[in-house]
Structure 1
Amino acid sequence: MFTGIVEELGEIAGIEQGAESAVLTVRGPLVVSDATHGASIAVNGVCLTVVEHDAEQFAVDVMAETLQRSSLGALGVGDPVNLERAMRADSRFGGHIVQGHVDGTTTITARTPGDKWEVVRFDLSDDLARYVVEKGSITVDGVSLTVSAVGRDDEEAWFEVSLIPTTLDLTTLGRKQVGGPVNLEVDVLAKYVERLLTPGMVR
Structure 2
Amino acid sequence: MFTGIISDVGTITRREAFGDGARLSIASSYPADTIAIGASIACGGCCLTVTTLAGGADGATFSVDVSGETMDKTTIGTWNEGDRINLERSLKAGDELGGHLVSGHVDGRAEIVERIEGEEMTTFRFAPPADLLSLIAHKGSVALDGTSLTTNEPGDTFSVAMIPHTLAVTTWADRQPGDLVNIEVDTIARYVARLVGARTAG
- TM-score tier, shorter chain, comes to over 0.9
Q: CA RMSD in A?
A: 1.6
Unaligned runs of 5+ in 2: none
Higher helix content, 1 or 2: 2
Following TM superposition, the consecutive aligned residue runs of length 4 or more in structure 1 with deviations greater than 6 angstroms are none
Q: C-alpha distance in 2, partners of 1:148/1:164?
A: 15
Q: C-alpha distance in 2, partners of 1:160/1:32?
A: 37
Q: C-alpha distance in 2, partners of 1:174/1:149?
A: 22
CA shift in 2, pair 1:117/1:23, >3 Å: same
Q: Which residue of 1 aligns with 2:174?
A: 175
Aligned residues: 198
- Give the residue type in structure 2 aligned to 1:142: G
- Give the residue type in structure 1 aligned to 2:36: T
Secondary structure of 1:120's aligned partner: strand
* Maintained 8 Å contact 1:5/1:94: yes
- TM-score normalized with structure 2 length: 0.93
* 1:111 is aligned to 2:115: yes
Q: Which residue of 1 aligns with 2:52?
A: 52
- TM-score normalized with structure 1 length: 0.93
Q: C-alpha distance in 2, partners of 1:139/1:201?
A: 28
What is the correspondence of 1:44-193 to structure 2 with a 5 Å cutoff? Answer: 44-55=44-55, 56-151=60-155, 157-193=156-192
* Displacement of 1:125: 2.1
The worse-fitting range, judged by mean Cα deviation, of 128-137 and 166-175 is 166-175
* Maintained 8 Å contact 2:18/2:65: no
- Give the residue type in structure 1 aligned to 2:69: E
* Maintained 8 Å contact 1:47/1:101: yes
* Maintained 8 Å contact 1:31/1:84: no
Percent identity over the alignment? 40
* Displacement of 1:110: 0.6
